Structure formats: C-alpha cells, structure tokens
A = this chain, B = another copy of it.
Amino acid sequence: MRARDLTVDFPTVTLDTPMIEAARLLADQDLPGLIVIDERGRPRTVLPGTQVLRLAVPRYCQDDPALARVVDEAHADAFLRALAGRTVRECLPEEPRELPVTDPDATVLEIAALMARTRSPLVAVVGGGRLLGAVTLQTLLDRALAS
C-alpha cells in the first residue's frame, strides 16, 4: 500500500484566496486542513486546521492564556474578523518548516511518520511536478486497521 493508493481529491486554495474564504472552506467541508498551491499548482504549504486558527488569534493570546481571558466575550466571538480583507499570502507563517508533502511511492509508515512529525492530519501527494491529491489521517487509519 503506497500513497498513490490512499490519495483522494482535495480542495485547494491559492495565495490570493481571501483568508476568511479559506477558513469557510475548512469549516463547510469539514476538512482536516488546507493545501495552499502556488501559481504552478504545486503545494506552497499545507496548514493543519489548528494552524489556520493560529493565523487569526493574536500572538499575545497564543502565548499567554491569561491575556486571552481578559478579552471580553463580544470581542472574543468576533476573533475571526482579524482575517477580514487579508489573503492567504498575507497570513502565512514566515518560518520555514518541514511540510507534510510526499510522493506517490511513500509507504503507510512513511506517511504516518510524516503526519506524526509535522502534526498534520493531512499530507499532500505530489508526483510528476503536480499535486495529485491528499492522504488524510482518517483514510490512513481506516486502511491500516483493515490490513
């Protein structure tokens, strides 16, 4: 069983997609994360769902739980408005990190190790220079438990 056998079609967003639209896609389609593609259709980054939240939560609230607590309920409810008017490009983290991207030959164990290491329930599969789709944690577990 290789990545190619587990790959499913997966919606993508571009660097120019409005960030709030990307968040809505994640919510509406119940996705484990987002694949951001570049102009050539290749994954520029893969954002686990929790890291999409990170883009909207002010830095001081992420670092210090006590500071998140002092924001009143009305402002807290509206925290996603921080994304309004911003594109995916403007929200991406700067730091380089290992991306959950693999090739069609990757084994189940390689994909599982990649998911564990990058804490991403979603791995993009790239072959022949283009995005073929994604392997999700759910698909991986379903198939690994059946084998």
Tell me the A residues contacting B by CB distance below 8 Å: 1-2, 20, 23-24, 26-27, 30, 32, 48-51, 53-54, 56-57, 61-63, 65, 68-69, 71, 73, 75-80, 106-110, 112-121, 137-138, 140-142, 144-145, 147
Contact = CB atoms under 8 A, between A and B. Distances in A.
Number of identical protomers = 2
Contacts of A2: 73
| Chain A contact surface mostly | helix
A48, A56, A110 — most chain B CB neighbours (10 Å):
A110
A65 B141 contact: no
A49 B91 CA distance: 25
B65 A138 contact: no
